[in-house]
Amino acid sequence: MTLRIWQVDAFADKLFEGNPAAVVPLEAWADDRRMQQIAAENNLSETAFLVKKAAGKYDLRWFTPATEVDLCGHATLASAWVIFHRLEKNLDEVRFQTRSGELIVRRGEGDYLAMSLPSASCRPLAPPDGFARDLASALSASPPQELHFADKGGAGAGTLVAVWPHAQAIGALRPEGNLGNLLLSVGAHSLIATAPGFDDYDFVSRFFAPAKGVAEDPVTGSAHCVLTPFWAGRLGKSRLKARQLSARGGTVLCTDDGARSLLEGKCALYLTGEIQI
């Protein structure tokens, strides 16, 4: 069997920036084990599989190298780019049916794609004694000023949100091998580290999901479903510009729209190929 595959850098102003995602269209769903094997072989933070149901309508699923996840923003954006530029070039909008409900991506201004995702709220977390100290040690950092917990967002249910006072602290984080177990001790599968922004950025972040097989995700759309309402409330503005401070880096334009977060970004095509299975 031959399958088409595209690798797209999402939330990237240029090639080799943003977050790479593989996009694999299927005629019908393959065996879950086979899709997981393909994702592991691709060894990207996400591989998106999509099945066309009608013009501009697709079923969509996402796999990390280790597991299937409920929501992935950057691979959704990459999938829309492939549809708009390779599969159905006449479209201005595509609708995806997913584990997180219907997701809509539209062509935006210029080269931007605009994606609507469900927002996720977070609440203050009162951690066990010593947890903040242990978290700081696992990240080679000073302790965060605040800890919050989101039931959804990032790599799935259970996301810890840690807030530092300055952007420099986020860029300096150096996670160690025990981070995953430490997060699991408070019921979190991932960590969003965030701080106020710099220059014209309203906030910055980094994202770690070792329990999901993703040591660090370069740019995480689903994490911004937590961060958009969080920072919109704090800054008193609905339109925000965010920067994820991974080694690759990426920019996300965010709009707080109540129950939805509107995320905009650009994409850059890296690879077109075929899978032989």
User: Closest Cα partner for 103 from 75, 66, 122, 67?
Assistant: 75
SS3 of residue 66 by DSSP: coil
What does the DSSP 8-state code read for residue 83?
I
Q: How many CB atoms lie within 10 A of CB 40?
A: 16
- Answer positive or negative: Cα dihedral of 168, 206, 38, 176: positive
The residues carrying an active-site annotation are: 46
Q: How far is CA 1 from CA 171, 201, 206, 275, in A?
A: 43, 46, 38, 8
Q: How many CB atoms lie within 10 A of CB 133?
A: 11
**Longest distance between any two alpha carbons in the chain, whole Å:** 57
Q: Is residue 32 within 8 Å of residue 68, measured between CB atoms?
A: yes
The two three-digit tokens of residue 192, written as one number: 């969003």
| Tokens 């249910």, located at residue | 157
- What is the spatial distance between Cα 35 and Cα 260, in angstroms, rounded to a whole number? 29
Amino acid at 26: L
> Which residues have CB under 8 Å from 59's CB, separation 6+?
29, 50, 51, 53, 96, 97, 98
- What is the spatial distance between Cα 257 and Cα 192, in angstroms, rounded to a whole number? 21
The two three-digit tokens of residue 170, written as one number: 């986020």
